[in-house]
Structure 1
Amino acid sequence: MRIILATWNPSKKRWLSEGLSSLNIPVFTLEDYEHGNIQDVEETEDTSEANALLKARAIHGDSRSIIIGEDSALFVEALKGFPGVKTARWMAGTDDDRADHILKKMENHSSRAAYFQSALAAVLPNGEHFTVEAKLHGSITMEPRGNRDSGYSRIFELPSGQTIAEMEPQEFIRKDHRRMAIEKLKHQLLERAGL
């Protein structure tokens, strides 16, 4: 048995590989996958869970592979959930550019509640699939803060009063929505795939 990560994103490959390492089965990336030239998947679905499943299903699995897809999104309540599933691609530019534009959109809003969501989908060798998700609730700041990370991490404040970019990495790991989603995924894999 092995796991194939359905992503070209270097950051996602790193944290997914680290998070799944405790399962003690090989974890491969698309660069390692022997079934042809795999292109990045266009995210056409309306939910993070559906986009994660779309990515996982785009990889042609085999009888020994579990395919994992992931989609993360930022939902800002005052903006009716925007940017949502289009978090990484709603405008050209860098993550910092997109974060700055969110701050501009929020200038006239007093309610600043928001949440990050990480959705993971698994397609098992028998074709069965499932999704899990986890959320991190917080609010959008008035200005970027912190230098430990970039983009949305500088404008997303946790209930503790710190942005993600202001926190020590070891401190944030305990709250990280991506890590929580991985733990849920591992639990389901142990139950459904007998790992």
Structure 2
Amino acid sequence: MKIFFATSNKAKVEWAQAALKKYGLEVVQLEMELVESRHEDPAEIALEKAQQAYALIKKPLMVEDGGFFIEALNGFPMTHVKFSLKTVGMSGIMKLLKGEKNRKAEWRMTVALVLSNKKHRTFTFVDRGEIAKRVRPVKRKCMSDYWRIYIPKMIPNDLALSEISGEDIRRWDRYYNSHNQYQKMGQWLSKNK
């Protein structure tokens, strides 16, 4: 089955292709301009955009959206990751959290799949962790500056996502690749063809 992925992010397409290949799914990148709402829930944004794209091409497709949620800041920045980095910045986030004991945070990544006007579904991966006490160095390619302050729960040694390497990165990759939003979608499609 061929599924179009409405995104300009080539890395997302490559991750989806790698994850969905074993389910017999061919993922094809489709670059198109879509209106993005200001919702705070990545699932709502992804589904709205997927329905927009489906209305244009009338073929099975998916759209991904995500957000970063810091519990002590009432979930901020939520789906406004780029905006928050541009306006408040890393130093502003760290100032807001100064002296805060609650360091809980999570990434939520959702894929919305639209197969027809009436058949659609969302698949969400949630990665829980905490915020570091200081901005950490970058030792690998990062998808977001927030990786410099986010410590995943399942990684030992109190390392931020930007710092992990060696066996820790392999452990993280195995975990992510077996639990992510693409896997959830592939599993659902294999049972609901």
Cα displacement (A) at 1:189: 1.4
Residue 146 of structure 2 is aligned to residue 149 of structure 1: no
Is 1:164–2:161 an aligned residue pair?
yes
Partner residue of 1:61? 57
Q: Alpha carbons of 1:87 and 1:177: their partners in 2 closer, same or farther (altered >3 Å)?
A: farther
Q: Give the AA of the match of 1:73.
A: G
RMSD (Å) for aligned C-alpha atoms:
2.3
The correspondence for 2:112, drawn from 101, 117, 121, is: 121
**Shift of the alpha carbon at 1:8?**
1.3
Counterparts of 2:178 and 2:133 in 1: how far apart (Å)?
Answer: 25
**TM-score, structure 1 normalization:** 0.82
Equivalent residues in 2 for 1:18-57, closer than 5 Å: 18-31=18-31, 38-57=32-51
- Once the two structures are TM-superposed, the CA of residue 48 in structure 1 deviates from its matched residue by 0.9
In structure 2, stretches of 5+ residues that fail to align are none
* Bigger helix share: 2
Q: Which runs of 4+ in 1 moved over 6 A?
A: none
TM-score, scaled to structure 2: 0.83
Q: Distance in 2 between matches of 1:181 and 1:40?
A: 21
Q: Unmatched 5+ residue regions in structure 1?
A: 32-37
SS at match of 1:43: coil
2:130 corresponds, among 126, 139, 148, to 139
Q: Distance in 2 between matches of 1:23 and 1:113?
A: 34
- Which residue in the other structure is 2:74 paired with? 80
Match of 1:11, SS?
helix
1:7 to partner: Cα distance: 1.2
The alignment status of 1:89 with 2:83, answered yes or no, reads yes
Comparing 156-165 and 110-119, the one that deviates more: 156-165
**Deviation sequence 1:80-120 (CA, Å, 0-9, x none):** 00000112233537xxx843432222113121111111111
